[in-house]
C-alpha cells in the first residue's frame, strides 16, 4: 500500500474517532460475512459503532487523542467499538455478545479505555455489571422522592383526619 493511501486511511480513522474518549477493543476476525453483517446490524440498532482497523494505522490516527494508549501491546487487526448511551451500556452489550457463543463464536473482548484508563478484559466484564445511566437515574429519583412522599403523607394525614371529623360532625348536626 502506498504512503499516500495509508495517509488517507489514517485521516479517515482519525475523523471517525474524533471526539471519542471511551472505547472497547474486540476481535471479530473469524466471523463469516453473514455473522459480521448481523453483528453490525445489532450494534447499529443500539447506536454502537464498530470499525475494524489495522493496529499500526490506528496508532498513527489516534496520536494525541484520549484513545492513544488503548492499543498497547495488542497484536494484529482489531475492531474499535464505541457509542451507546454510556460506557456501561456499551460494556454490557459487548460482554453480552462475548457470552452469547451461538451467534458469534469468534467474537471476543480484548480490552478498552475509559476516562484515560486502559482496561483489561476482566475490568470490562466488571464494568458491565455496574448499573447503567438509566438505572442510576431511577435509583436517584427513588431516593429523592421516597422521603419526600413520606413527609407529604405525614403532613397531610392529620389534616385529612381533622377534615373527616368536621364533615362527620356537620352531617350529624343536620340529622338532629
Share the mean pLDDT of the chain. 83
- Give yes or no for residue 26 having a pLDDT over 60: yes
pLDDT at 111: 86
What value does the mean pLDDT take over residues 126-131? 88
Q: Answer whether residue 77 shows pLDDT above 80.
A: no
Residue 16 has pLDDT above 50, yes or no: yes
Residue of 108, 115, 109, 130 whose CA lies nearest to 20:
115
Does domain 3-130 correspond to CATH entry 3.30.70.1730?
yes
Q: What percent of the chain has pLDDT over 70?
A: 94
Q: For residues 151 and 131, give the distance between their C-alpha atoms in angstroms, rounded to a whole number.
A: 28
Whether residue 107 is predicted with pLDDT greater than 80 in this model: the reply is yes
Quick one: which of 28, 43, 27, 22 has its CA closest to 112?
22
At 5, list the grid cell. Answer: 493511501
C-alpha separations of 89 from 83, 109, 131, 134 in Å: 9, 15, 9, 9
Residue with cell 450494534: 43
What whole-number distance in Å separates Cα of residue 55 and Cα of residue 71? 7
Domain boundaries, the chain: 3-130, 132-176
What is the pLDDT, as a whole number, of residue 20? Answer: 84
Please say whether the beta carbons of 25 and 81 come within 8 A: yes
- Which residues 6+ apart lie within 8 Å of 62 measured at CB? 13, 14, 17, 68, 70, 71
3-state secondary structure of 119: strand
Which region among 21-30, 48-57, 69-78 has the lowest average model confidence (pLDDT)? 69-78
- For residue 76, pLDDT over 60 is answered with yes
Query: Average pLDDT, stretch 155-161?
Result: 80
Query: Which residues does residue 80 pair with via DSSP β-bridges, in sequence order?
Result: 25, 51
Given this model, what pLDDT does residue 176 score? 46
Burial status of residue 57 (CB atoms within 10 A of its CB: 0-12, 13-18, 19 or more): middle
Reply yes or no on whether the pLDDT at 101 is more than 70: no
pTM of the model as a whole:
0.71
Residue 42 or 106, more confident: 42
Amino acid at each position: 500500500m502506498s504512503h499516500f493511501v495509508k495517509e488517507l486511511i489514517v485521516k479517515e480513522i482519525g475523523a471517525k474517532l474524533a471526539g471519542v474518549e471511551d472505547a472497547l477493543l474486540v476481535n471479530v476476525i473469524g466471523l463469516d460475512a453473514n455473522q459480521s453483517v448481523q453483528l453490525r446490524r445489532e450494534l447499529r440498532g443500539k447506536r454502537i459503532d464498530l470499525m475494524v482497523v489495522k493496529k499500526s494505522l490506528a496508532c498513527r490516527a489516534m496520536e494525541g487523542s484520549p484513545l492513544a494508549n488503548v492499543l498497547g501491546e495488542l497484536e494484529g487487526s482489531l475492531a474499535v467499538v464505541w457509542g451507546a448511551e454510556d460506557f456501561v451500556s456499551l460494556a454490557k452489550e459487548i460482554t453480552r455478545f462475548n457470552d452469547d457463543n451461538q451467534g458469534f463464536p469468534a467474537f471476543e473482548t480484548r480490552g478498552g479505555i475509559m476516562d484515560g484508563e486502559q482496561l483489561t478484559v476482566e475490568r470490562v466484564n466488571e464494568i458491565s455489571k455496574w448499573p447503567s445511566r438509566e438505572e442510576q437515574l431511577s435509583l436517584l429519583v427513588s431516593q429523592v422522592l421516597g422521603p419526600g412522599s413520606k413527609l407529604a403523607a405525614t403532613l397531610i394525614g392529620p389534616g385529612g383526619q381533622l377534615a373527616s371529623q368536621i364533615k362527620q360532625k356537620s352531617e350529624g348536626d343536620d340529622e338532629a
